[in-house]
Amino acid sequence: MPDRRGPGPGRLDGDPGLHLAYLAADYKVQRRVRPLALIEALDAVSAGAFTALGFAGLIAGAARLQNVLPLGTFNQLSSGGLVPLLNAAVGLEVGSGVIVLLARFLDQAVEIAPPPDGGPYSPEAA
């Protein structure tokens, strides 16, 4: 069984449930239930968190991304130092980035597709 603790091959990032709303219903439903502003903010915050964790080593006088946290007890989450925090930041960044990317692709596809009645496209109708 693949390891699901960190981002890597075989991992499904993002929340497919938001995009399954598009497949199950239509774009209007998916657009209404998708908190895109919140997801974009999460994307930015997680990128900033990764950057801040990287600079923590520099601030402490060590190398970038070097562990500056105390090591805990063996086989405990706290024994990983910065690694679990970096994994969380990367996982949130990749997951929210995939959702934002798919949302933008769907927005563009709906804008490009002609309306079913042949009339001009109106963004308010979507």
Res 37 pLDDT > 70: yes
Q: What pLDDT is attached to residue 15?
A: 55
Res 49 pLDDT > 90: yes
The pTM assigned to this predicted structure is 0.65
Residues 6 and 18: their CA atoms lie apart, in Å, by: 22
Residues 49 and 46: their CA atoms lie apart, in Å, by: 5
DSSP 23: H
Q: With the CA atoms of 91, 92, 94 and 99 taken in that order, what torsion angle do they form, in degrees rounded to the nearest 10? A: 140
